[in-house]
Structure 1
Amino acid sequence: MSNRLFRFILGVGLLLIAVLPASAQSDQIFGLVDVDLAEVRSGPDFAYPTLDRLPRNTSVVILGRAGDFVTRWDGRQWLQIAYGGGKAWVYARLLRTSMAFNSIPPTGRILPRDRNGRVPEVFDLSYDICEQWGGSFSRIGDFMAGDRELTVTYPTLIGANVYSVIVISPTGVRRAFDSTTGTSKIILDHLPQEGGTYTWRVAPYWTYSDYRFEWQQVCLLQTGGVFDKPYTGFTRPHLSAGG
């Protein structure tokens, strides 16, 4: 371990002990600004406006991340920080953190890009677009009462042009039901045979293509609710002893 890294870890540890109650010390992730005048942005992308600039060695509380670090920095790794009583974002390369980047829980998504590598103009970038995605979720129908489909509704997001409802079975099997509106149908015959309590979640996407593999997820999944489903597989008839 380098002396520089050791001093940073030691400094973060002393800071935690000094300013946090014992119950919070194991929960919070800290970062230290590693450059002078690090830009603070309203969302996790260089396309978002700059809110502030932080001097070198400023300590920040890390709330989450957007993007994944695989082999190199490519502009798509961002850290969400506590800022001014709210939240903001800093490019991850400008910070040293008390936890490895990919171990920090995701709290945001990188903006989609069109064929020219530009952010679609349909999005409002005055602040984090995923903070704009909120509202109520509802469901009509009941598989346990004999319905063959459920109708679910969810909030829409300005700029998103397709939504995917992900239904998760009790054992984790997933099925997707896609729609271009704030309403989608969950079809009984398209679900696994197993009975039990299912969870449905929703995410908005943006795409310029009809091919699903080219859809770009805009925000993290939100849970819409749960529903019960009966077992729909073949049940072997019971035979009497004399039959």
Structure 2
Amino acid sequence: MRRLWLILIGILLLAASAALAQPPGDPDAARPGETITGIVAFDGARVYVGPDFAYDLIGQLALNASVEVLGRSGDFYYAWTGSQWLEIEYEGRTGWVYARLIRTSIPFNSIPPTGRRLPRNRNGRVPEVFDLSENLCANWKGAFTRSGDFAAGDRVLTVTYPELPGANVYSVIVISPSGQRTAFDSTTTTAEIERAKLGREVGTYTWRVAPYWTNAPERYNWQQICLLQTGGTFVIPGIPPTARPPRYRYGGYQTPQPASTPPPLVP
């Protein structure tokens, strides 16, 4: 019995050491330069120009055909819901296939995201302002510019970004060196980044942009159309604060000790 326990403990230690030896991040993610492949699991799998059934159809795939996977849209939690898509190479261009129809060489959620589903109105339909003959986000291209400089004493930076036909709101997300995010929203292709709203942290900030569609003023009703694109960086000058030693919650207090009990008197 003791020998069995020793064997079980050894197995647990080996498993723990293997887990600790895993590199940080997703262990199932593709390595740099690795090609993600897929095998078509259903004959006649349809290929669309974008990651949504509302997009135009451009072709079909035969059963057991091999494809190169470029990216994904959506996340898989417990079931295929129609929102999970795979971007593939198709006849010299890119196409999108519903993810349930393809078996991939790595787990779905480990594939890098490259697209998003189309927004919907209150009737569950795609708004008519969008041209569904082409992938919307593939055509969202152009120049990202910035004017102004906090290091020169400016209090406001003006940034511009390309227009996405059909989008009616844009959100500029400013990311601080520590990862804190601040949004500056606009209904045009120009937005202003205010120094007063960024706090006291100094260093290099990154600003990114995402287009949205909405039919309501509340921000929680906004539907993001494309993934964030990086517009550039800027610097908030200053001297970083000196790192302080860690403070412990009860470091300044003494833990009260129970009073010792005197020994009983021996008659």
What does residue 117 of structure 2 align with? 110
- Computing the radius of gyration from Cα coordinates, the structure with the larger value is 2
Aligned partner of residue 143 in structure 2, secondary structure: coil
What is the letter of the counterpart of residue 183 of structure 1? T
- Conserved 8 A contact 2:151-2:235: yes
CA spacing shift, 1:73–1:211, aligned 2, 3 Å: same
Write out aligned runs for 1:86-165 (5 A). 86-165=93-172
CA spacing shift, 1:166–1:58, aligned 2, 3 Å: same
What does residue 186 of structure 2 align with? 179
How many angstroms does 1:27 deviate by?
Answer: 1.2
- Conserved 8 A contact 1:173-1:192: no
- Conserved 8 A contact 2:202-2:240: no
Aligned partner of residue 110 in structure 1, secondary structure: coil
How many angstroms does 1:232 deviate by?
Answer: 9.4
Q: Distance in 1 between matches of 2:229 and 2:61?
A: 32
What does residue 49 of structure 1 align with? 56
Question: What's the Cα RMSD here?
Answer: 1.7
What does residue 78 of structure 1 align with? 85
Give 1:195's match in structure 2, choosing from 202, 209, 229: 202
CA spacing shift, 1:99–1:198, aligned 2, 3 Å: same
How many angstroms does 1:231 deviate by?
Answer: 3.9
What is the letter of the counterpart of residue 196 of structure 2? D
Aligned partner of residue 193 in structure 2, secondary structure: strand
Aligned partner of residue 93 in structure 1, secondary structure: helix
- Conserved 8 A contact 1:194-1:232: no
- Conserved 8 A contact 2:39-2:102: yes
Give 2:224's match in structure 1, choosing from 210, 214, 217: 217
TM-score (norm 1): 0.84
What is the letter of the counterpart of residue 67 of structure 1? G
Q: Identity rate of aligned residues, in percent?
A: 62
Q: Which runs of 4+ in 1 moved over 6 A?
A: none
Question: Across the two proteins, how many residue pairs are aligned to each other?
Answer: 211
Structure 2: give runs of 5+ residues left out of the alignment: 1-30, 242-267
Structure 1: give runs of 5+ residues left out of the alignment: 1-23, 235-243
How many angstroms does 1:230 deviate by?
Answer: 2.2
Aligned partner of residue 185 in structure 1, secondary structure: strand
Residue 205 in structure 1 maps to residue 216 in structure 2: no
Q: Distance in 1 between matches of 2:240 and 2:158?
A: 23
